[in-house]
Structure 1
Amino acid sequence: MRVFLLLASLTLPLSAEPKTHNSPWNFPEVESREAWQARVKEIREQILVSCGLWPLPEKGPLNAVVFDKVERDGYSIEKVHLQPYPGFYLAGNLYRPLGKGAGPFPAVLNPHGHWDQGRLADEGNGSIPARCIGLARMGMIAFSYDMVGYNDTRFADGTEADGGHRKFGARAEDQLWGINSMGLQLWNSIRALDFLESLPDVDRKRLACTGESGGGTQTFMLAAVDGRLAAQVPVVMVSHSMQGGCICENAPGLRVDHSNMEIAAAAAPRPQLIIGATGDWTKATMEVEGPAVAGIYKLLGAEEKLNYQRFEAPHNYNQQSREAMYEWLGRHLLEHPEAVSFKEAPYQKEPDDVLRVFPGKLPDDALSMEEFIKARKQAQRNHWKQLVPRDQAALERFRTELFPAWRHTLQTDWTPADREKKSPPSAEWVAREQVEGTVLIKVTGDLAVDPDKLQIERRDGVTVMTFKGAAEDAVADEISNHFTTYNRTSLQKQVGALITVCQMLRELPAVDRVLLSGSGRGSLWAMLAAPAADGLAVDCSALDFSLDENFLGPGTFAPGLRRIGTYKGAAMLAAPNPLLLHHTGGKFACFDIGAAYRAADAEDRLELAEAPLAEAEILRWAAQK
């Protein structure tokens, strides 16, 4: 029966094989331009929320410094450092054309992959200096910059050999705040693009990005969220299988529903060249990934704006791949591409000390990793204080910002428009269960729900639906092996199931209202699902919501939870629906929720009780609402 199938889905079997970064993907079927545009909006929001960049941070002064210029045959090189965040230094090298006039020139960002030498790598299978020199000789400005933790871009307590690349943002408590390596690197790329735009010899309408492996990930991530790129060339990273093996490529929540193929396709219809290799996970570029992305370009009437190629080579960005990139960017960015040779001329990489920006100690104001994480958390606290609404206009701003964050943090596709959707109910369910009037869903916080233990009864004019849990199974590790990048956590599953229950009940013609009531861990799930219900009553005694460690266990963890105010944000989004918070004595903070209800002119719908309420009192509240 429909009700039992639904309840069985409240918790997916913990023994089910979770998705990993090596799981195969299929490209979704997209029927129309409008459907794809809606999906791109979802992809962009998911990227920004997953990376802790929703909303985008305020762009402070970059404090960019360009110095130590050297001139060579057809190009110059300078050292650069800038501050994407105060106290965090992004460093790199700026390659400019010589002998081609004063510009303005096209400009190309060059993020690098996981070479041991980072942006200084100069090998047969890949050379960052070679491609930057090649671009500059063609008449483009090229900026190569470090991954987090490489060479000159590291934390003050990191060494040149270990600047924190695989450590930053790896802890679950940091992920609660949306702090992760991929988010920092994406922000670095956005600010690097700001830096290029600030240069007087750069044409702001001709900006591009190209990178290999992890740098390929950075390329299509940037293109998906920043419309300033006029062209992009991701190399050996657009794959239907392996999605990236490092934490800098696996933001929590990023690929629960979307693969690298979709993220790369989000750039359409802007010019894009995808390069694969026979010796790595992009070996099916010509058969799978390329045609899949091409389908979107065709849908948008821009077939000529996409090209995809595969070369006989191991994982690389070698000369053959670089020359394909030169030709593509030359064709789309240079004003007279026919006058340019796209064959790479011999080059000489500069010694490392000529390219290094901070060989040794970082500037005195550089932050350690812990100081930087503390600053990011404090910035989020400050932003939240500013976001708490004080009037109706501020409440609308709050909803505009927080509702997408709530949806993507909890991995649900529910929207308020779904309230009005109706589908034919199950006649068997209606006839057997007699679900009608006001329905109160009781959630106790058990992870594993046994459908046979569902109770539905009519009490004091209210239909009470109680979920009684079975013995709790072993909980999968939700932190290691990029689990949250590809899978929903127990908390996300439970909240999603409650949202589904609310919507299905609302579709029944005999149901007037759907209310949620929670206790134990269920109080958190019920509060987080509150926007999809018509009212909420929860026992607030289960957790000390002020402590991060209380959100790291089974059924309480979801990356980014702190960025939506934990329990507060969802309850505030539910205003002006009736809200009863009882057993609030102690450490449960209600001020922000009260502010939202005052802003919604609905103070009479918010009820607070310091003591715990008996079930009879909750039923009386439900019957009156």
Structure 2
Amino acid sequence: MAQDSDHNYRENLAASLTKIEEIFGVQLKYEPKLVEGKSLDYAYWRIRQGNLEVSLTAVLAPFDLTFFKEDASHYTIKPFQYHKKSRSAAEEQLDFLASTYHNLEEWENRKALLKACIMEALALEALPAAPNNAPIVNERKIFEGYSVENIALEVLPGIFTTGSIYRPFPLGENLPIVIMPNGHFGQGRYRESQQIRSATLARMGAVVVGYDLFAWGESLLQFDSEDHHLAAAHSLQTWNGIQWIDYLTALPETDPQRVGITGGSGGGSQTMLLSAIDDRITVSVPTVMLSSHFSGGCPCESGKPIHLCGGGTNNAEIAAMTAPRPLLIISDGGDWTHSVPELELPYIRRIYGFYDQEDLLINSHFSQEGHDYGFSKRQAMYPFMAKHLGLNPQSLLNQLGQVAEDNITILSEQDLQVFGADGSLLPAHAVQGREALFELLEGN
């Protein structure tokens, strides 16, 4: 080992990693550019014999690098990403969290602490009051067994959330509600699969809304697509979801005691978050998102420090805050939800056990599938929503016992736009751009 004049035992990072490989008998995989030109003082002294992961952390952390365990003898080194951790680190955190509450009272105390902190982190109570302006509503379109109308709510002065509401036709009364926060799938609420599940749930007897992400869809009339990556998007999307619940529960045809929520990917993040902080939600189905080692790579999912609450939390604990309300976790083998059956589900089931309500927690895992809200995942969601919201799928069942998705009219983006294809119906007082948004938020 080379020593500098100050006897700091300085060594380059590549050599330090080679030394770790030799000592622990493992292989470390990384791109050479990650270690090129990097060295650190007391490099070999940072290696703790008998503890590989502590050694890797000590050597890598000064360069904002981290590691992921692939198997017992192979590790991958990558740039540090705050929203990702290794599975072993997630297991350690879940074990620690579980050790801090042993009964219902201790869990309820933890839940209350988390909820208060999440609300503070999102700064929802500091937002300007929603204007008491009438929503902007387009003409209702009637189809076979359901209707669709496009609607915009002014959720902050000059800021709108836009969506499409699907209702049973004929309408009926005392109808349950399902809100569908969008994820980062292409086309957002215009996506065919989104329209299919919205229309199908409406045919089963629910009033359903799918709404745009912040700085997606018609929100692009007010903001640039890059603005979706503002941390403020985390707060605004959560606020939008709350406002949609406010609006739908006040309709004369709905039952405010039956409110379901489901979304995939980033919409799954919103599903877990809204279920944790809004007790009006009675049934929750986060899809292809729940993980203890991934908290969402978009600022709209983790831009505000909600995962630092309570000394540190993760999406498994946030999802567990839904307890004892019915919770269906839809997961698959092709993304970060691959570990749900073995890792996150037992942890959450223990919390449901505090309420003696383990039967209200279900996991539908599709080990051979990937990151989507496709047919099989929808077929898992429909009966769960039907059971816990009092929907009627019987008339839609096919010979295989599946909920048929036939005879649904897939509308164009233009047909689903509130403000028109050219945006000409956007109100003149609408806020334009991030600077105006910041001025609104900071001026409150």
User: Normalization by structure 2: what TM-score?
Assistant: 0.74
- Counting aligned pairs with the same residue, the percent is 32
Equivalent position of 2:150 in the other structure:
79
**What code does the residue aligned with 1:332 have?**
H
Q: CA deviation at 1:255?
A: 1.3
Question: Structure 2: how far apart are the matches of 1:375 and 1:152?
Answer: 20
Question: Structure 2: how far apart are the matches of 1:62 and 1:331?
Answer: 36
Query: SS where residue 314 of structure 1 aligns?
Result: coil
Question: Structure 1: how far apart are the matches of 2:158 and 2:361?
Answer: 40
Does the CA contact (< 8 Å) of 1:240 and 1:261 recur in 2?
Answer: yes
Q: Which runs of 5+ in 2 are unaligned?
A: 1-56, 67-79
Distance 1:317 1:208, change over 3 A: same
Q: CA deviation at 1:339?
A: 6.8
Per-residue CA distance 1:507-538 (angstroms, 9 max, x = gap): xxxxxxxxxxxxxxxxxxxxxxxxxxxxxxxx
Q: CA deviation at 1:121?
A: 1.4
Q: Aligned ranges for residues 210-609 of structure 1 at < 5 Å?
A: 210-256=262-308, 257-311=312-366, 312-334=368-390, 341=397, 343-346=403-406, 347-358=408-419, 359-361=421-423, 362-368=426-432, 369-379=434-444
Question: Structure 2: how far apart are the matches of 1:73 and 1:220?
Answer: 32
Q: CA deviation at 1:191?
A: 0.4
1:144 aligns with 2:210: yes
Equivalent position of 2:45 in the other structure:
none
Per-residue CA distance 1:422-466 (angstroms, 9 max, x = gap): xxxxxxxxxxxxxxxxxxxxxxxxxxxxxxxxxxxxxxxxxxxxx
Per-residue CA distance 1:149-169 (angstroms, 9 max, x = gap): 1111235353xxx37312x34
**What code does the residue aligned with 2:298 have?**
C
Q: CA deviation at 1:115?
A: 1.6
Does the CA contact (< 8 Å) of 2:237 and 2:300 recur in 1?
Answer: yes
Does the CA contact (< 8 Å) of 2:130 and 2:157 recur in 1?
Answer: no
Question: Structure 1: how far apart are the matches of 2:212 and 2:147?
Answer: 19
Per-residue CA distance 1:471-490 (angstroms, 9 max, x = gap): xxxxxxxxxxxxxxxxxxxx
Equivalent position of 1:66 in the other structure:
137
Question: Structure 2: how far apart are the matches of 1:338 and 1:93?
Answer: 25
Distance 1:154 1:51, change over 3 A: farther
Query: SS where residue 255 of structure 1 aligns?
Result: helix
Equivalent position of 1:117 in the other structure:
187
Does the CA contact (< 8 Å) of 2:257 and 2:282 recur in 1?
Answer: yes
Query: SS where residue 313 of structure 1 aligns?
Result: coil
Question: Structure 2: how far apart are the matches of 1:210 and 1:148?
Answer: 18
Does the CA contact (< 8 Å) of 1:94 and 1:141 recur in 2?
Answer: yes
Q: CA deviation at 1:284?
A: 1.3
Q: CA deviation at 1:53?
A: 1.5
**What code does the residue aligned with 2:194 have?**
I
Query: SS where residue 20 of structure 1 aligns?
Result: coil
Query: SS where residue 329 of structure 2 aligns?
Result: strand
1:43 aligns with 2:111: no
Distance 1:287 1:119, change over 3 A: same
Q: CA deviation at 1:300?
A: 1.4
Does the CA contact (< 8 Å) of 1:60 and 1:85 recur in 2?
Answer: yes
Does the CA contact (< 8 Å) of 2:136 and 2:418 recur in 1?
Answer: no
**What code does the residue aligned with 1:116 have?**
G
Distance 1:268 1:56, change over 3 A: farther
1:98 aligns with 2:169: yes
Kindly tell me the number of residue pairs found equivalent between the two proteins: 349
Question: Structure 1: how far apart are the matches of 2:298 and 2:417?
Answer: 25
Does the CA contact (< 8 Å) of 1:148 and 1:163 recur in 2?
Answer: no
Does the CA contact (< 8 Å) of 2:266 and 2:301 recur in 1?
Answer: yes
Q: CA deviation at 1:348?
A: 3.0
Q: Which runs of 5+ in 1 are unaligned?
A: 1-11, 170-179, 380-625
Does the CA contact (< 8 Å) of 1:51 and 1:182 recur in 2?
Answer: yes
**What code does the residue aligned with 2:385 have?**
L
Does the CA contact (< 8 Å) of 1:323 and 1:344 recur in 2?
Answer: no
Q: CA deviation at 1:96?
A: 0.4
Distance 1:338 1:130, change over 3 A: closer
Question: Structure 2: how far apart are the matches of 1:215 and 1:71?
Answer: 27
Distance 1:154 1:194, change over 3 A: farther
Query: SS where residue 282 of structure 1 aligns?
Result: helix
**What code does the residue aligned with 1:304 have?**
D
Question: Structure 2: how far apart are the matches of 1:337 and 1:116?
Answer: 28
**What code does the residue aligned with 1:165 have?**
H
Q: 2:85 aligns with which of 5, 17, 23?
A: 23
Q: CA deviation at 1:42?
A: 1.8
Question: Structure 2: how far apart are the matches of 1:62 and 1:340?
Answer: 38
Question: Structure 2: how far apart are the matches of 1:163 and 1:363?
Answer: 22
Does the CA contact (< 8 Å) of 1:319 and 1:344 recur in 2?
Answer: no
Question: Structure 1: how far apart are the matches of 2:320 and 2:395?
Answer: 31
Q: CA deviation at 1:54?
A: 3.9
Query: SS where residue 338 of structure 2 aligns?
Result: coil
1:164 aligns with 2:227: yes
User: Normalization by structure 1: what TM-score?
Assistant: 0.53
Does the CA contact (< 8 Å) of 1:223 and 1:267 recur in 2?
Answer: yes
Q: 1:193 aligns with which of 223, 228, 245?
A: 245
Q: CA deviation at 1:276?
A: 0.2
More divergent stretch after superposition (26-35 vs 311-320): 26-35
CA RMSD in angstroms comes to 2.1
Question: Structure 1: how far apart are the matches of 2:320 and 2:243?
Answer: 23
Does the CA contact (< 8 Å) of 1:154 and 1:163 recur in 2?
Answer: no
